Amino acid sequence: MDCKTRWNSTFKMINRACVLKDNIEMLLVRNSNLKDTFPSDNEWELFKDLDQFLCQFNEATIVLSSQKYPTIAHSRVIVLAIKKDLEANRGEEYLLKDVAESMLGK
């Protein structure tokens, strides 16, 4: 299910596709008539960037959800870690640079 409140599902779907990329490409070799339905090289790059980008939020969700009594202090540490990761320079080729900059502005 993909909706605004369940974005971890999107992360899991993209992560699984990245893990199975070689198998998915083998399927294309066997069934070339499906070529139009498979991701392009640019889309695979976007999936890879999205996987890395959303991973930090998935991990934060797991950590905060696993605490019996989450505190604001612990939440602050996680938010600061996410902020530091968003500030990391990934170069001009990073496809999600605008998204990261927009999030830092909030």
How many other C-beta atoms lie within 10 A of the C-beta of residue 9? 12
Residue-wise pLDDT tens digits, 40-72: 999 999 999 889 888 988 998 888 888 788 788
pLDDT level of residue 3 (50, 70, 90 thresholds): low
Residues 6+ apart with CB under 8 A from 45: 95
Q: Is the pLDDT of residue 1 over 80?
A: no
Amino acid code (one letter) for 105? G
Q: Is the separation of the CB atoms in 100 and 86 below 8 Å?
A: yes
Q: Is the pLDDT of residue 18 over 70?
A: yes
Domain count, the chain: 1
Structural domain for 47, as ranges? 4-104
Question: pTM of the full predicted structure?
Answer: 0.74
69 or 18, which is more confident = 18
